[in-house]
Amino acid sequence: MWHELTSDQELFRDTTARFLNDRAPLSQLRKNRDDPAGFDPAYWSAGAELGWTMLLVNEEDGGGNISCRGAVDLALIAYEFGRHAAPGPLVDCNVIASALSGHEGELQRSVLGEVLTGEAIASSCLGAAPWQQPGEATVTISMDGGDVIINGAVKPVESGKQARHLLVTGISEGGMTQILVPTDAPGVAIKGLKNIDVTRRFAAVSFDNVRAPADALVGAFGRADDQVVHQVQNAAVILSAESVGAMDAAFDMTMDWAFDRYTFGRPLASYQALKHRFADMKSWLEASHAVSDAAAEAVADGTALAGETACAAKSYIGEQGVELAQDCVQLHGGIGVTYEHDLHFFLRRITLDRLLYGTPAEHRRWLAAMQIDKEYAA
């Protein structure tokens, strides 16, 4: 990342990088390919002790950050996650911890404490989103007396089979609603999914007349639109920074290959046609760094352009990140498409991050809607 970092931020980032080098090297990720969770629970709880899950949470709720700009500090960790293709539900646990911070309910505070310590995983079931048109939500939430009724399905849900709690977002009369649901609640069905990222696990979650108490609501019934927008902005910052880290790793790996690999007595990097491709990739990488940093700072500061910048980052990096990673594979030649080569870890990470919390097309549609709303307001 290109933020102007304090010495404390540099220490925080470097500590995470060393931790991931020791606890989640690519050799270990290969061994964990068939592990149900993809990582040792002790790895995640140790990461929580380092501060991975507390950066968007108020100090009075047990959280805290390094620079008073939690989204920026979290982007530093997300960048290292991408650069190491690290496992773990970094996005969902931070999004949910932030959503629960400031709520006084006993259940909300209990779940927040478990997420902060790494004792439990909480996963986000985004069954309604800010970019959706009427009728596109996949989860409906209604009231029945003093209970809340949930119906619908969501996929993919990260660590769905490993999670203890779900933060379900659905559409209700009046707007979006969010509620906490235990994964073992009657009517909740969770099915593991195959996915392209071998270091993470995803599931499909369905809700069949799931009944939850009203005190499990996060925010007011039918009035959660603004809080969902903020959560998606945080997710966009994390995913963008993570993708940039993976892009950096793939680009550096390809540059080293191009200088070390000789053909017809010359290094690959000396060919003019390949220089043009490297120049294109470098320009995408520079722009991705810039827009990712801008999004983290805008969201951290709560500026008027936070929404637009987060959408721009998610959409641009989602497109150009995959393009860069695919070019890296092509420049490696045949070895680049083998499982034995490390490059695919980063291609998989970038490709999947592109789809989570809104595709580039969905974020562009949302960005366009924001601009239209501003014009009408003016």
Per domain, the residue ranges of the chain are 7-117, 122-222, 226-377
Work out the pLDDT band at 266, boundaries 50, 70, 90.
confident
The predicted structure's pLDDT at residue 268: 79
Cα separation, 295 vs 248, whole angstroms: 18
Lowest-pLDDT range, 142-151, 237-246, 260-269, 289-298? 260-269
Work out the pLDDT band at 128, boundaries 50, 70, 90.
very high
The rounded percent of the chain whose pLDDT value lies above 70 is: 99
The predicted structure's pLDDT at residue 377: 73
The predicted structure's pLDDT at residue 48: 96
Query: What is the residue-averaged pLDDT of the chain?
Result: 95
The predicted structure's pLDDT at residue 378: 65
Cα separation, 114 vs 165, whole angstroms: 10
Residue 82 predicted with pLDDT over 70: yes
Radius of gyration of the chain (CA): 21
pLDDT digits (tens, 9 = 90+) for 203-257: 999 999 999 999 999 999 999 999 999 999 999 999 999 999 999 999 999 999 9
Identify the CATH class of 122-222. mainly beta
In total, the chain counts a number of residues equal to 378
Instruction: Using DSSP bridges, classify how beta strands 139-144 and 147-158 pair: parallel, antiparallel or unpaired.
Output: antiparallel
- Tell me which residue has tokens 């290094």: 267
The rounded percent of the chain whose pLDDT value lies above 90 is: 88
pLDDT digits (tens, 9 = 90+) for 151-179: 999 999 999 999 999 999 999 999 999 99
Q: Which of 183, 190, 188 is nearest to 165 (CA)?
A: 183
* Intrachain domains 7-117 and 122-222 with the same fold: no
Residue 183 predicted with pLDDT over 70: yes
pLDDT digits (tens, 9 = 90+) for 249-261: 999 999 999 888 8
Work out the pLDDT band at 320, boundaries 50, 70, 90.
very high
The predicted structure's pLDDT at residue 245: 98
Angle formed at CA 203 by CA 201 and CA 205, multiple of 5 degrees:
155
Which pTM was predicted? 0.95
The predicted structure's pLDDT at residue 1: 54
CATH no. for 7-117:
1.10.540.10
The predicted structure's pLDDT at residue 375: 80
Work out the pLDDT band at 342, boundaries 50, 70, 90.
very high
Cα separation, 322 vs 330, whole angstroms: 12
DSSP string spanning 165-195?
A: EEEEEEEETTEEEEEEEETTSTTEEEEEE--
Residue 61 predicted with pLDDT over 80: yes
pLDDT digits (tens, 9 = 90+) for 84-98: 999 999 999 999 999
Work out the pLDDT band at 349, boundaries 50, 70, 90.
very high
Tell me the two tokens of residue 89.
Answer: 């539900």
CATH superfamily of 226-377: Butyryl-CoA Dehydrogenase, subunit A, domain 3 (1.20.140.10)
Work out the pLDDT band at 271, boundaries 50, 70, 90.
confident
